[in-house]
């Protein structure tokens, strides 16, 4: 309704109501003449109201003209052909006119605010976006605004949007499914038992793919190729790849350690790229322990799903022997070797570097270890300082600048206990050295930021010291360690297994037994790790700050600078509390860096939680460090992640 008419009509209606009330009262108190006069006024007022309503309607009809009347027949036909419409508004964003693009039911919005018809248009009015989409009567319209003017342009994009959606849904996705540990579990089984394993594990995977319209083809005894589209893949994500849990439970019922690893490639029309992506994704899942899904896309970062179990220890030592030979060949073909540790070196990293240095020395090659850059953990620093003369007489310790001066055309650099730039103490060396190798026990992150010629990542191992100790067994030349060196390697295993309580397997104890033969002294190791009274007091304070989440998780924090080792020890210690399945400890580890140490008894996947922050680690031991976030900010982030995980679990339980 036109605002000018609306104002007068409202006044007249108010007079009409008053006159009607007066007339009703007047039947008792007025004489006949006054009643006639009052009735006459009432009738005249009513007639005027009707005339005003008619004029208002006429004015609205007059303004609701067609595009043909305004712009001419050709313009109307052009806009109709292009399925384009116009809507004009006044200064209060009230619709004053609309073209004939919409059906007749849309005209009822004339005289109302445009945002009451199209809520999304508020974004255009605020200028937060240049166009919006909205649906009306099973049609999809794109809306843009003419700069700061009073006209909104509408285009019917129903066909385009449906075509785009169909195109996106039908993009090809390639996948690989791998049965982890299948060959190890079946190589000594008889034909009948192998048939049972295939029936219980392989057939459900075939049925799972068939039920979802996925093309599946076996390409190896333990591997399948998958071909599907984006629409099917989005359904798999909603299901959270339930086949992983199904396979794990079936394997457990057969007393087997077989799990599924899946890698998917998507986001490109190039089939060669898709194959490369899904192979890389599968390699990532296996490098992270298996029993999960990795998705590599041309347009997004790698995403992970699943990971409901820890990495299984591999009974076969074939890979360790192969890697030992590969490392020997690389060393012999290099002029010299530079061993690169991680930032704030700990016993595991330092011990692995010492052991690797001894292996390389046995082949007569010059080797240096970067220890003087990036920092060193406090207790290790004291151990090194107390024994520096002995250590420096057997090993060449350098900083990053010295290491750069040692780089030659065939120099080999080996990263131990880490595999990315963000954690290394020799970033510039990695950039200039032609050959880079990696030896690590942490779950592999999305992608290397360099191209290693060898990647030995074994997540089932307890520590890098365990991995290096295994390599000793496959060297053609005897590797001799001093009591101090073997004890430092032993200490690295002790710390990373929390005194052999977690992440230990038979091979862990074999490595320890071998180190003991080489002279490792547990009492000397214990002396390296003894804490001061001040440390004991600080740990007690942090533990007392712990807050319980969902009755089985503890979150503790302290705002004072705390040694990184203490943070880890508190996280380990809180797991000893009855009914506690996971713990998170947050504290500043330097003046400008905050660290988080996460531990689990194997029930909660803390590695996945730390990855959401940007960190990583193992299924039951992970960490994260930040230079930009405060202790309280990290506490709130972890609390939010745990809340989301809890809600997901509740939803899953409800659906079951």
* Closest by CA position to 441, among listed 424, 421, 423, 417: 417
Q: What is the phi/psi pair of residue 140, to 5°?
A: -110, 130
CATH topology of domain 318-529: inorganic pyrophosphatase (n-terminal core) (3.90.1640)
Q: What is the mean pLDDT of residues 70-87?
A: 59
Chain position carrying tokens 């689990």: 600
Q: What is the DSSP letter of 368?
A: E
Cβ(600)–Cβ(629) below 8 Å: no
| pLDDT score, position 469 | 93
Average pLDDT, the chain: 83
3-class secondary-structure state, position 318: helix
Residues 6+ apart with CB under 8 A from 371: 341, 345, 350, 353, 384, 397, 398, 425
84: which strand partners? 155
For the chain, domain boundaries: 3-63, 67-165, 170-306, 318-529, 533-655
The CATH number assigned to the domain with range 170-306 reads 3.30.70.270
pLDDT tens profile 213-269: 999 999 988 899 999 999 999 999 988 899 998 898 888 888 887 888 999 999 998
The answer to whether 243 and 224 have CB atoms below 8 angstroms apart is no
pLDDT band at 67 (very low <50, low <70, confident <90, very high): very low
Residue-wise over 385-420: b if at least 16 C-beta within 10 A, else e? eebeeebeeebbbbebeebbebbeeebbbbbbbbbb
Reading the block at residue 204, the tokens are: 């459900």
Question: Residue 65 pLDDT more than 90?
Answer: no
Does the structure show a pLDDT above 50 at 604?
yes
Half-sphere exposure of 248 (CA within 13 A, CB side): 17
**Could you tell me the two tokens for 589?**
């580890």
Using DSSP's 3-state secondary structure scheme, residue 310 falls into: coil
- pLDDT per position as a tens digit, 486-522: 999 999 999 888 888 777 888 899 999 999 999 999 9
Bridge partners of residue 596, in order along the sequence: 586, 624
pLDDT for 254: 85
Higher pLDDT, 223 or 114: 223
pLDDT at 576 over 60: yes
| pLDDT value of residue 311 | 53
Cβ pair 554, 544 in contact under 8 A: no
Give the model confidence (pLDDT) of 519-567 as tens digits. Answer: 999 999 999 988 888 888 888 999 988 889 888 899 999 988 888 878 8
Q: In the block, which residue shows the tokens 């009274």?
A: 533
- Confidence check: pLDDT of 323 > 50: yes
- Considering only the C-alpha atoms of the chain, give the largest distance between any 2 of them, rounded to a whole number of Å: 132
- Which element (helix H / strand E) includes 92? none
Query: What's the whole-number mean pLDDT along residues 366-374?
Result: 92
What integer pLDDT is reported at residue 80 of this predicted model? 57
Mean pLDDT for the stretch of residues 115-130: 79
Phi, psi of 280 (to 5 degrees): -65, -40
Span 164-186, average pLDDT? 86
All residues at 6 or more sequence positions from 41 whose CB lies less than 8 Å from its CB, including other chains? 19
Please tell me the predicted confidence (pLDDT) of residue 651: 58
Q: If you average pLDDT over residues 202-215, what whole number do you get?
A: 93
Q: Decide: 539 and 563 in contact? Cβ < 8 Å.
A: no
| Residue 413, pLDDT above cutoff 60 | yes
Higher-confidence position of 3 and 187: 187
Decide: 115 and 126 in contact? Cβ < 8 Å.
no
Half-sphere exposure in the Cβ direction for 358 (13 Å, CA): 25
Asked if pLDDT for residue 403 goes beyond 90, the answer is yes
pLDDT of the residue at 16: 64
Q: Which helix (H) or strand (E) holds 648?
A: helix 631-655
Question: Are the C-beta atoms of residues 504 and 497 closer than 8 Å to each other?
Answer: yes
Q: Which CATH architecture has domain 533-655?
A: Roll (3.10)
Residue 562 has a pLDDT of 87
CATH number of the domain located at residue range(s) 67-165 in this protein: 3.30.450
Q: Is the pLDDT of residue 64 over 50?
A: no
DSSP category for residue 360: H
SS3 362: coil
What's the rounded Cα separation, in Å, for the pair 646 and 621? 20
At residue 503, the 3 state secondary structure works out as coil
First to last CA, the chain: 55
Which residue bears the tokens 């004029």? 55
Express as a percent the part of the chain with pLDDT over 70. 82
pLDDT category at 2 given cuts 50, 70, 90 is very low
Question: If we measure between CA atoms, which residue out of 563, 499, 595 comes closest to residue 584?
Answer: 595
pLDDT band at 161 (very low <50, low <70, confident <90, very high): confident
pLDDT at residue 477 in the model: 78
pTM above threshold 0.85:
no
Specify the pLDDT at position 589: 87
1 pLDDT more than 80: no
Q: What is the mean pLDDT of residues 342-352?
A: 91
Q: How confident is the model at residue 443 (pLDDT cuts 50, 70, 90)?
A: confident
pLDDT at 82: 57
Q: Is the pLDDT of residue 281 over 60?
A: yes
Most confident of 352-356, 458-462, 542-546: 352-356
Mean pLDDT over 572-577 rounds to 88
- Angle at alpha carbon of residue 536, lines to 531 and 539, rounded to 5°: 120
For residues 562-577, average pLDDT: 86
Decide: residue 358, CB within 10 A, 0-12 exposed, 13-18 middle, 19+ buried: buried
């Amino acid at each position: 309704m036109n605002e000018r008419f609306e104002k007068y009509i409202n006044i007249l209606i108010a007079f009409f109501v008053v006159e009607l009330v007066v007339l009703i009262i007047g039947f008792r108190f007025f004489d006949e003449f006054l009643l006639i006069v009052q009735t006459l006024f009432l009738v005249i007022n009513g007639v005027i109201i009707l005339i005003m309503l008619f004029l208002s309607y006429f004015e609205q009809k007059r303004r609701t003209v067609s595009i043909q009347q305004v712009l001419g027949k050709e313009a109307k036909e052009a806009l109709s052909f292009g399925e384009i419409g116009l809507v004009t508004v006044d200064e209060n964003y009230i619709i004053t006119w609309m073209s004939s693009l919409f059906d007749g039911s849309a005209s009822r919005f004339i005289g109302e605010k445009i945002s009451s018809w199209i809520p999304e248009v508020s974004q255009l009015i605020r200028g937060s976006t240049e166009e919006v989409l909205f649906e009306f009567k099973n049609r999809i319209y794109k809306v843009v605004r003419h700069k700061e003017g009073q006209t909104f342009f509408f285009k019917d994009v129903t066909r385009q949007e449906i075509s785009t959606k169909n195109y996106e849904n039908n993009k090809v996705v390639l996948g690989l499914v791998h049965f982890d540990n299948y060959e190890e579990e079946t190589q000594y089984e008889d034909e009948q038992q192998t048939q049972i394993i295939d029936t219980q594990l392989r057939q459900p995977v075939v049925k799972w793919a068939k039920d979802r319209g996925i093309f599946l083809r076996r390409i190896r005894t333990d591997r399948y190729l998958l071909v599907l589209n984006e629409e099917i893949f989005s359904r798999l994500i909603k299901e959270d790849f339930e086949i992983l849990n199904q396979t794990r439970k079936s394997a457990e019922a057969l007393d087997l350690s077989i799990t599924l690893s899946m890698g998917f490639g998507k986001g490109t029309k190039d089939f060669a790229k898709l194959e490369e992506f899904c192979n890389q994704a599968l390699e990532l899942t296996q490098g992270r322990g298996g029993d999960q899904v990795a998705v590599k896309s041309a347009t997004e970062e790698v995403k992970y799903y699943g990971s409901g179990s820890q990495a299984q220890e591999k009974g076969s030592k074939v890979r360790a022997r192969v890697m030992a030979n590969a490392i020997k060949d690389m060393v012999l073909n290099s002029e010299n070797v530079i061993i690169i540790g991680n930032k704030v070196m700990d016993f595991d990293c330092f011990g692995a570097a010492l052991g690797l240095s001894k292996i390389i020395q046995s082949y007569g090659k010059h080797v240096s270890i970067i220890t003087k850059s990036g920092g060193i953990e406090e207790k290790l620093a004291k151990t090194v300082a107390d024994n520096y003369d002995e250590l420096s007489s057997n090993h060449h310790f350098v900083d990053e600048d010295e290491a750069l001066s040692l780089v030659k055309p065939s120099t080999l650099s080996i990263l131990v206990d880490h595999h990315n730039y963000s954690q290394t103490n020799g970033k510039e060396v990695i950039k200039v050295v032609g050959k880079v190798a990696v030896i690590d026990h942490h779950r592999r992150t999305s992608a290397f930021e360099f191209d290693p010629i060898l990647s030995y990542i074994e997540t089932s191992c307890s520590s890098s010291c365990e991995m290096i100790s295994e390599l000793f067994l496959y060297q053609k030349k005897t590797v001799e360690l001093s009591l101090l060196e073997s004890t430092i390697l032993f200490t690295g295993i002790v710390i990373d297994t929390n005194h052999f309580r977690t992440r230990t397997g038979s091979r862990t104890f074999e490595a320890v037994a071998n180190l003991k033969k080489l002279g490792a002294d547990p009492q000397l190791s214990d002396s390296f790790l003894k804490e001061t009274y001040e440390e004991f007091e600080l740990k007690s304070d942090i533990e007392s700050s712990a807050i319980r989440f969902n009755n089985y998780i503890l979150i503790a924090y302290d705002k004072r600078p705390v040694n990184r080792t203490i943070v880890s020890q508190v996280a380990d210690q809180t797991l000893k509390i009855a009914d506690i399945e996971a713990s998170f400890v947050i504290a500043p580890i330097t003046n400008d860096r905050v660290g988080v140490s996460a531990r689990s008894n194997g029930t909660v996947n803390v590695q996945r939680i730390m990855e959401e922050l940007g960190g990583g680690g193992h299924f039951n031991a992970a960490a994260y460090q930040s230079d930009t976030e405060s202790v309280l900010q990290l506490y709130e982030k972890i609390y939010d992640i745990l809340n989301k995980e809890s809600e997901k679990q509740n939803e899953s339980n409800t659906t079951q």
